[in-house]
Amino acid sequence: MTGSTAYALYGVFALGAIAMFLLLPQPQRSRPLVGAVAGLAALALLLVVLATRVATADTTVYFYLFAALAIASAARVISHPRPVYSALYFVLTVIAVAALLVLQHAEFLAVALIIIYAGAILVTYLFVIMLAHQGGSAVYDRRAREPLWTVLICFLLMATITTRAAVLPPAASPKGVPVSSSVAAGPAQLDGPPATFGNTAAVGATLMSRYIVAIQMAGVLLLISLVGAIALSRRKVRSDVPPMSARPLGQIGREVQPF
Amino acid sequence: MNMPLDTIKYLGITILLAPLAGAVLAGALGPKILRGRTHWATILGVAAAFVASIMLFQTVRTAPVTARSAQVPIYEWISSASGADIAVEFLVDPLTSIMLLVVTGIALLVVIYSRDYMRHHDHPEPGYERFFAYLGLFVFSMCALVLGGNFILLYLGWEAVGLCSYLLIGFYYGKPAASAAAKKAFLVNRVGDFGFGLGIFLIYVTFGSLEYGPVFDMAARGITATGEALSSERITAIALLLFCGACGKSAQLPLHVWLPDAMEGPSPVSALIHAATMVTAGIYMIARCGAIFAVSPVAMNVVAAVGALTALFAATIALVQTDMKRILAYSTISQLGYMVLGAGVYAADSAVFHLFTHAFFKALLFLGAGSVMHAMGGIIDVRHFSGLRRLLPATFLTFVIGSLALAGFPMLSGFFSKDEIIHHALAAHPILGGMGLLTALLTAFYTFRMVFLAFFGPQRVPEGVHPHESGSWMLVPLFILSIGAIGAGYFGTGVTHKAFHHFLEPVFANTFASRNPHHAASHAAEAAHASFWADYGLMLISGTLAILGILAAYLIYVAQPWLAGLAKATWPAAHRVLWKKYYVDEAYQAGIVDPLRQSGRVCVGLDDYFIDGLVWIVTAVPRGLGYALRFVQSGLLQGYALSMVAGLAVILLWVFW
Amino acid sequence: MIGVSEHILLGAVLFGLGLIGFLSRRNLIVIFLSTEVMFQGVVINAVAFARYHRHLDGQAFALFLLVIAAVEAGLALGMVMLLYRQKQTLDAEDWSSMRG
């Protein structure tokens, strides 16, 4: 990444770190208002940095919109003191990410994301939150542990990954078309199914042809987790009824209904 | 024709292994299976050894005079490339066969005696089986010492008898005095053995071999292993170092201190080990190494002087002791001094002759004292009993016979053997000879002082003791030894044409006899048969001295008992010095034992503070590190995760920057 | 044109935010929720690379990621329920018996 972009990103990340630090729930130091303002500023700056690298056109504005939404709601997921709100903000994050996926022409994945995440996983989370309800915001929700170090280290990690570790393709020439190319709108080209297939069919074809074993393993994994979840959450059943084998046959016959 | 080597080999192996087998059986099967019959294992083992010794003696005696020495290899033990070849081999010659007879014979009588001694009212004492096992082990060790054909086997036997002595002195290990005495014996012997070991090293360095044959041959010819001339300093050094060992084992000045304390052991032990056999190992060694000693006049003078001094020194101490066994112990030291003196004046055959007779009467005296102790319920201090001659008649009779022999009463065995030594000593060093005569007078006096105090006078016994004469198991050995005490001396006199000395002649022919500088002086008078006085003058003088001593003791302790108190009152200081054994023990305590203890304490302090401190400092580093880093282990998942992420960030930074 | 690099940046930011939430929140459920946020970042990344390399492996991978997320959510929440039954609290700092 070129020097100026990198330094600009460092500035953005620094501002974002400060914003996050102020947003995390801490009894004395948290300044949600200041943090929110700083966060939005950081977000805006990020989008500006991105924008200067690419030509404005077509679907890019939607990208920025949904990107901003995803980042903001993710920030709120981790910084909201009440778990229920965290879960709800997470739903928002999922929707934003799904939209981004649609922009990438990965429609099947987007819908699957919404169904599975927002529909199943989040509902499970909400159930558990309700089951473990503590009545109001508990003390452990109001205080984050070691926010300073956490924020510093994680933003350092992010900065390193983005500016250094990820060797990105060269930036676009100003207002020009980026050298990395462009996949035109439309279905991806693959070896196998014909170009007339839609995204869902293409993904399905890929899965069934190249990743068939992985699908089987995924199924087994799901089965195992199902069994595991049941085993984990079983309450010990103390029954006053003696086991079947201990009772005389005649009695068993009278108790056990045929249908 | 030479001696039949095979016969000798098997006889030698029997002599060695039979007592060992008896000991092993006694030790292994005794405690649980044999119990009160354990003595049979040792008796049979030692008896087999004794019979084999007789057969060995016969074999040697019937061989022609020129071929009475044989080196019999048994097996190759250590053979190394650098030339240290050590074999297990026997050297069998007249000296060996006589020593073996003495050792196994006295041992057999002692073992038989012990069967009754180690019992109370016919119940074996606790540790009965252990006793017989140790006795068998001792006989094995002593036979190994005597039979060995090289210095390594000599040293091994030497150490082994030292070990058995320690085990047997400390037999009543629950008694603090006994275990202290055992330790003292072992440590004092260690000092002597250190010198002995150095001597053996020096022999190897000088002569390149450890076998008797080559070493004595080279020493006699005056050359070393490389063929150069043997310097007189070297051979004197070797001889004196070997003599160190003899001082330790045979209780000569200044290493005599362990023998009186060793009387804490049971009386059979004192009789066997500290009278007849182990303590004579030093004399045997000097006799055996005649080739080395005889070529060094300096060493011989030292040996003679030490022997005479020890004899006189111990005799004076014995004058005032009240414990019968202690008196006998000091008398043993004194008689050993005679033997050493004999060896020192080139009369090794007389020394061995005195060893031979001394074994009989000293063992007799110790076993007799044991009989008295048995009857007196364990008390042996003459201040607590007297007038026992009517209560214990058989013991009295045999004890008197032994005492007469010890005192040198004319015509008994001790008279002949002691007389010879004094004769040679007077010819070589008149002063030492004079000391020998004085010692003879004192010996007669203190021996009969002991007899009169214990067996004469009013009958009194310690409280609660019912004295009874000992059983036949104890009395028969006493009688047999009495016969020896009376008659053993005749082997060395004109009656048998000095059979003993002629038998030993081939052993000492090239060594002591041929190099005796006083040869001319002592033999000239004899050869001339100049006068009655020259032939029999010394015998007359020593006989008279013995009788004078006995009469003096009779006068002071029986006829006019108040005289004893008068002597003590007149010279209290002298009495005190003698009673305290010339303060030798106190000197050792102050000069050696206490400083060593002190340095031990210093070392303990060093260890506790300095070394432990160093170790503490070394361990402080990981402890400190752990203390410093303990906070990282908070037990919290997120703390660990944060550390992980931090590490990841650092690594990525490092890699990609 | 929005290329791979922008998507990488977005994915990294989401991942980082999820990491912050995982490391700093004390509520067990919010911790797992934050891991789900991290998953979102990874999904975006995978799909972007799929488009870059012009085949659908990335999308297939993202689907499997979804499966794993579901599995993990189920089991994690089961364990959270067990832990909640032990101490009636969702505080992650209560379970520190491995300290020292």
ipTM: 0.93
How many CB atoms neighbour CB B566 within 10 A?
11
The span from the CA of A94 to the CA of B453, in Å, is 121
Mean pLDDT of chain B: 87
Looking at chain A from residue 61 to 120, which residues have their Cβ under 8 Å from any Cβ of chain C?
A: 63, 67, 70-71, 74-75, 77-79, 83, 86-87, 90, 93-94, 97, 100-101, 103-106, 108-109, 112-113, 116-117, 120
Phi, psi for residue B347 in degrees, rounded to 5: -110, 60
The span from the CA of B106 to the CA of B277, in Å, is 8
Nearest residue to B269 via CA among B363, B336, B181, B356:
B363
B174 in any annotated domain: no
The span from the CA of B378 to the CA of B629, in Å, is 71
pLDDT score, position A190: 35
SS3 B525: helix
Gap from C48 CA to chain B (nearest CA, Å): 23
Task: For chain B, list the contacting chains (3+ Cβ pairs, <8 Å).
Answer: A, C
Residue B607 lies in domain: 600-656
In the numeric block, which tokens belong to residue C20?
């912050």
- A126-143 tens-digit pLDDT: 998 888 876 666 676 777
pLDDT score, position C3: 72
CB A50 to CB C12 under 8 A? Answer: no
pLDDT score, position B403: 93
CB A157 to CB B648 under 8 A? Answer: yes
Both B357 and B491 in one domain: the answer is yes
The span from the CA of A50 to the CA of C4, in Å, is 12
Lowest mean pLDDT among A137-141, B319-323, B397-401, B532-536: B532-536
SS3 A180: coil
Phi, psi for residue B123 in degrees, rounded to 5: -100, 130
Name the percent of chain A lying above pLDDT 90: 25
| Mean pLDDT calculated for residue range B202-215 | 88
Chain A positions touching C77 (Cβ under 8 A) are 124-125, 128, 229
Is the pLDDT score of B18 beyond 70?
yes
Both B328 and B378 in one domain: the answer is yes
| Mean pLDDT calculated for residue range B26-42 | 85
Chain A positions touching C25 (Cβ under 8 A) are 78, 141, 144-145
Handedness of CA A213, A215, A218, A220 (dihedral sign): negative
> DSSP assignment, residue A244?
G
**Structural fold of domain C4-88:** Helix Hairpins (1.10.287)
Is the pLDDT score of A168 beyond 80?
no
pLDDT class of A187 with cuts at 50, 70, 90 = very low
Chain A positions touching B645 (Cβ under 8 A) are 153-154, 157
The span from the CA of B651 to the CA of B459, in Å, is 105
CB A165 to CB B656 under 8 A? Answer: yes
Chain C positions touching B635 (Cβ under 8 A) are 95-100
Gap from C83 CA to chain A (nearest CA, Å): 10
Most confident of B65-69, B190-194, B512-516: B190-194
Lowest mean pLDDT among A84-88, B33-37, B304-308, B406-410: B33-37
When comparing pLDDT for B2 and B270, which is higher? B270
- A2-36 tens-digit pLDDT: 677 778 888 888 999 988 888 888 877 777 888 88
pLDDT score, position A186: 33
B447 in any annotated domain: yes
Q: Which positions ≥6 away from A76 have C-beta within 8 Å?
A: A85, A86, A89
pLDDT class of A193 with cuts at 50, 70, 90 = very low
Nearest residue to C82 via CA among A232, A66, B469, B542:
A232
Residue A162 contacts residue A150 (beta carbons within 8 Å): no
> DSSP assignment, residue A189?
P
Chain B positions touching C97 (Cβ under 8 A) are 635
CB C18 to CB A189 under 8 A? Answer: no
pLDDT score, position A231: 87
pLDDT class of A180 with cuts at 50, 70, 90 = very low
pLDDT score, position B333: 94
Q: What is the pTM of this model?
A: 0.68
pLDDT score, position A184: 35
CB B641 to CB C22 under 8 A? Answer: yes
Both B563 and B613 in one domain: the answer is no
CB A162 to CB C92 under 8 A? Answer: no
pLDDT score, position A96: 96
- C11-42 tens-digit pLDDT: 999 999 999 999 988 888 999 999 999 999 99
pLDDT class of B194 with cuts at 50, 70, 90 = very high
B477 in any annotated domain: yes
CB C100 to CB B638 under 8 A? Answer: no
Minimum-distance CB partner of C13 among A71, A183, A233: A71
CB-side exposure of C50: number of CA atoms within 13 Å?
A: 28
In the numeric block, which tokens belong to residue B558?
């029986």
pLDDT score, position A177: 35
Q: Report in angstroms the alpha-carbon separations of B1 from A8, A120, B168, B329, B536.
A: 119, 116, 44, 45, 40
pLDDT score, position A165: 63
Chain C positions touching B632 (Cβ under 8 A) are none
Minimum-distance CB partner of C71 among A58, A145, A221: A221
Lowest mean pLDDT among B146-160, B169-183, B458-472, C73-87: B458-472
Both B380 and B494 in one domain: the answer is yes
Lowest mean pLDDT among A69-83, B425-439, B550-564: B550-564
Both B569 and B519 in one domain: the answer is yes
Q: Which residue of A has its CA nearest to B650?
A: A157
When comparing pLDDT for B139 and A49, which is higher? B139
CB C19 to CB B634 under 8 A? Answer: no
Most confident of B45-59, B113-127, B633-647: B45-59
* Element of type H or E holding B128: helix B128-147
pLDDT class of B305 with cuts at 50, 70, 90 = very high
Residue B382 contacts residue B460 (beta carbons within 8 Å): no
Q: Which positions ≥6 away from A89 have C-beta within 8 Å?
A: A73, A74, A76, A77, A80
Both B542 and B622 in one domain: the answer is no
pLDDT score, position B525: 52
In the numeric block, which tokens belong to residue B489?
């001396």
B636 in any annotated domain: yes
Compute the residue count for chain B.
657
> DSSP assignment, residue C27?
B
Is the pLDDT score of B530 beyond 60?
no
> Total domain count for chain B?
2
When comparing pLDDT for A200 and B136, which is higher? B136
Minimum-distance CB partner of A157 among B636, B639, B645: B645
CB B634 to CB C92 under 8 A? Answer: no
CB A90 to CB C36 under 8 A? Answer: yes
The span from the CA of B520 to the CA of B182, in Å, is 46
Both B560 and B652 in one domain: the answer is no
Any B CB within 8 A of C93 CB: yes
pLDDT score, position B389: 85
* Residue labelled with tokens 């170009």: A195
A198: Cα separation from own chain's centroid: 25
The span from the CA of B593 to the CA of B298, in Å, is 31
Gap from A146 CA to chain C (nearest CA, Å): 6
Residue B284 contacts residue B99 (beta carbons within 8 Å): yes
